[in-house]
Amino acid sequence: METPESIVARLVSLTAELGDPRNDYAILGEGNTSARIDGESFYVKASGAEMRSADASSFTRVSFRKILAFLDGGPATDDGVGKALLDAKLDAGSNSKKPSVETFIHAIALTLGRAAFVGHTHPVAVNAVLCSAKAREAFGGRLFPDEIVVCGPAYAFVPYTDPGLPLAIKVRGAIEDHLRAHGEPPRVILMQNHGMIALGSSPGQVLMITAMMVKTARIIAGAYAMGGPAFLAVESVNRIHTRPDELHRRKVLADKG
Ligand SMILES: [Zn+2]
């Protein structure tokens, strides 16, 4: 039985792994992570905390209801957003940290996106593509079977948007579009000129998705150096995505984390 303490312990090790400098996913205060505790609340990284040195005090417990209600409240000032983030805290008595400005995105990923753990990073290899003139085209098709098994049949792509509330509203729209088109939430959300979000059922799945996206981005860069990517046909992508042996492989991988 998971307790808030066991969930935060798993979140701490996920965050430290994503922030390991050898991975090149995030430096300094970049990136953030979250985990669902129950139907009412989730843990999210505090603003400015470093991923590589994360411990339990790097996270704060936040109310889904308050964060999601603020998202529906229309335009807000920077001050209003800051107050809403502090007001949504459920551990204000024992923890003075301010939730990350990306808390709104995490709340959406953990509800509409059906994730249990979420990792947002700025991997150099992924951002090289996301910051290029070909960003949308480059992530518009799938290139190899393992990419599909781990990262899904399509990515949700969000054009560059001001981080915080405006970006969260765009991310919500991208997840809704993906649900309509594919009948399931995306495992990866790509934010142009910014970074990626991995939506996982476990910390292990978030790590696998992030690692596979980095590999995919490196392959994309190589493919553009060799005349451009040869994307797989839609039928081939759907075949891999629904093959019984690949479904089994995906389940084995997911259970590992
Ligand atoms: Zn970011």
Q: What is the 224 CA–ligand 1 centroid distance (Å)?
A: 26
CA 180 to chain CA centroid, nearest Å: 19
Q: Percent of the chain, pLDDT > 70? A: 97
**What's the 239 CA to ligand 1 centre distance in angstroms?**
33
- Full-model pTM: 0.94
Give the distance (Å) from ligand 1 centre to CA of residue 196: 8
Q: Where does the chain have alpha helices with state H?
A: 4-18, 64-71, 78-87, 103-109, 124-130, 135-138, 145-151, 165-182, 203-225, 234-242, 244-256
Q: Give the pLDDT of residue 209.
A: 97
**CATH label of the domain that carries residue 59:** 3.40.225.10
Q: 228-234, long-range: CB within 8 Å, 24+ apart, which pairs? A: 229/138, 229/141, 229/143, 230/143, 231/140, 231/141, 231/142, 231/143, 232/141, 232/142, 232/143, 232/144, 232/148
Residue 72's pLDDT band, with cuts at 50, 70 and 90, is confident
**Domain total of the chain:** 1
pLDDT > 70? residue 256: no
Q: How many CB atoms lie within 10 A of CB 74?
A: 7
Q: Which of 4, 13, 5 is nearest to 207 (CA)?
A: 13
**d(C-alpha 24, C-alpha 19), whole Å:** 8
Per-residue model confidence as pLDDT tens digits over 184-228: 999 999 999 999 999 999 999 999 999 999 999 999 999 999 999
Chain segment 145-172, per-residue pLDDT in tens: 999 999 999 999 999 999 889 999 999 9
Q: Which residues, 6+ apart, have CB-to-CB distance to 239 below 8 Å?
A: none
Domain hosting 127: range is: 4-256
| Number of neighbours of residue 252 by Cβ within 10 angstroms | 9
CA of 30 to the centre of ligand 1 (A): 6
Which one-letter DSSP state was computed for residue 57?
A: G
Predicted local confidence at residue 151, as pLDDT: 94
The helix/strand/coil state of 34 is strand
